[in-house]
């Protein structure tokens, strides 16, 4: 979990990179940007707001041969070893980004490289490097007095409410390739930022494994439980799965299966599904791992607990009081109408 409330921008360099394939120029500033009390808070919010609002999916630098050949990884090492040299290194970062900007869809824009202090990651204070890019410009009006007349001036600039691309490189887990967060609000060039420029892969930590295993369970519920049983049992399976994760600090697969899979016939189906699909979720040999509560909370919000019927009726099952669905909702078949039905027991209607 990150806390950016007390983060301080110790240094900031701003450059501009064009699209190399269109022969657009690169502009490298000679000196760091001079910060002031008026613009610094605005830039801090511009840079960091997207990371506070984004699910924490961490990455790490990766190279097919060895990390020592990864350009940005080596640059990060130099900056953390000697933060005073960040401006010179920022020029290399901008040049490297420019050299990756060869696809015709990639837009020119400003590149900001910041040295950030007092970043809190998992309750530990550390420094971080921020690399941000603004691409899309918007029209806006400025007004000026001209004698007894107010004139409207059309100008073109960056919207401080939306960062186009950015990453935070935390001074943590250096040997693994650092822990990194990334945001990218534009989907037309997704590979350009994460793959071509940053050169990262998912950081395989507790959060990663918790999220991946729950996604695997969600697909198993949809692909196996639903066809074998019904929608109610699909929903209840995922409810039991999430509750198991929520009440345990350590995941152990055998205990999970015994508690969550209430139909014995689905036990071998679960093992078969995992052996077949595990590479897709990176959980091939995963049978035990520490559970990340943040990933469980995020997964619970995404899981649908509604049964949609073709008669335009919805039944919403309560995940908080999951026993109610088991005790008070029954599914049956009406021979006369030749239709399925749900029977719901209750004492009285509750006002919402």
Query: Residue 231: pLDDT band by 50, 70, 90 thresholds?
Result: confident
| pLDDT higher than 80, residue 235 | yes
| pLDDT higher than 80, residue 45 | yes
| pLDDT higher than 90, residue 262 | no
Q: Which contacts of 191-197 are long-range, i.e. CB under 8 A and separated by 24 or more positions?
A: 192/100, 192/101, 192/103, 192/106, 193/133, 193/165, 194/59, 196/100, 197/72, 197/96, 197/97, 197/100
Query: Residue 254: pLDDT band by 50, 70, 90 thresholds?
Result: very high
236-262: average pLDDT: 93
> Which one of 1-5, 9-13, 53-57 scores highest in mean pLDDT?
9-13
User: For residue 322, what pLDDT is reported?
Assistant: 60
User: For residue 155, what pLDDT is reported?
Assistant: 84
Question: How many residues does the structure list for the chain?
Answer: 352
Across 13-17, 242-246, 328-332, least confident range: 328-332
Convert the pLDDT of each residue in 268-309 to its tens digit: 999 999 999 888 888 888 999 999 988 888 888 877 778 888
* d(C-alpha 329, C-alpha 233), whole Å: 11
Query: Residue 62: pLDDT band by 50, 70, 90 thresholds?
Result: very high
Counting Cα atoms < 13 Å in the Cβ hemisphere of 254 gives 0
Convert the pLDDT of each residue in 157-167 to its tens digit: 888 888 999 99
| pLDDT higher than 70, residue 352 | no
Convert the pLDDT of each residue in 174-213 to its tens digit: 999 999 999 998 776 768 899 999 999 988 888 899 999 9
| pLDDT higher than 70, residue 267 | yes
* d(C-alpha 50, C-alpha 185), whole Å: 9
Beta-sheet pairing, 314-316 with 8-17: unpaired
Convert the pLDDT of each residue in 310-333 to its tens digit: 898 888 877 666 667 778 888 888
Convert the pLDDT of each residue in 86-111 to its tens digit: 999 999 999 999 999 888 888 899 99
66-70: average pLDDT: 92
| pLDDT higher than 90, residue 12 | yes
String of DSSP letters for 151-215: EEEEEEEE-TT--SEEEEEESS-GGGT-EEEEEE---TTHHIIIIIII-EEE--SHHHHHHHHHH
User: For residue 86, what pLDDT is reported?
Assistant: 97
Query: For all residues of the chain together, what is the average pLDDT?
Result: 90
CA distances from residue 80 to 84, 226, 258 in whole angstroms, order as listed = 9, 51, 48
**Please, what sign has the CA dihedral across residues 66, 122, 290, 168?**
negative
């Amino acid at each position: 979990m990150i806390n950016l409330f007390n983060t301080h921008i110790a240094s900031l360099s701003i450059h501009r990179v064009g699209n190399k394939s269109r022969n657009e120029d690169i502009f490298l500033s000679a000196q760091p940007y001079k910060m002031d009390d008026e613009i610094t808070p605005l830039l801090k919010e511009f840079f960091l707001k997207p990371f506070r609002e984004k699910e924490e999916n961490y990455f790490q630098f990766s190279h097919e041969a060895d990390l020592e050949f990864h350009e940005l990884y080596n640059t990060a090492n130099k900056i953390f070893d000697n933060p005073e040299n960040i401006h010179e290194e920022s020029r290399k970062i901008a040049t490297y980004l420019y050299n990756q900007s060869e696809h015709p869809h990639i837009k020119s824009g400003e590149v900001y490289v910041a040295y950030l202090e007092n970043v809190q990651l998992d309750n530990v204070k550390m420094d971080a490097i921020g690399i941000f890019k603004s691409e899309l410009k918007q029209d806006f009006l400025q007004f000026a007095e001209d004698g007894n007349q107010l004139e409207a001036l059309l100008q073109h600039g960056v919207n401080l409410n939306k960062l186009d691309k950015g990453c935070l490189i935390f001074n943590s887990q250096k040997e693994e390739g650092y822990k990194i967060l990334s945001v990218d609000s534009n989907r037309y060039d997704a590979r350009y930022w994460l793959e071509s420029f940053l050169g990262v892969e998912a950081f395989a930590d507790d959060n990663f494994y918790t999220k991946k295993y729950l996604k695997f369970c969600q697909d198993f519920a949809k692909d196996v439980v639903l066809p074998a049983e019904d929608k109610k049992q699909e929903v209840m399976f995922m409810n039991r799965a999430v509750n198991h994760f929520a009440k345990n600090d350590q995941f152990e697969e055998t205990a999970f299966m015994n508690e969550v899979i209430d139909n014995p016939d689905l036990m071998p189906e679960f093992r078969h599904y995992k052996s077949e699909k595990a590479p897709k979720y990176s959980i091939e040999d995963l049978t035990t791992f520490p559970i990340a509560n943040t990933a469980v909370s995020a997964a619970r919000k995404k899981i649908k607990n509604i049964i949609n019927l073709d008669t335009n009726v919805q039944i919403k099952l309560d995940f908080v009081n999951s026993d109610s669905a088991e005790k008070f909702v029954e599914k049956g078949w009406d021979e006369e109408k030749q239709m399925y039905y749900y029977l719901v027991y209750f004492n009285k209607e509750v006002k919402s």
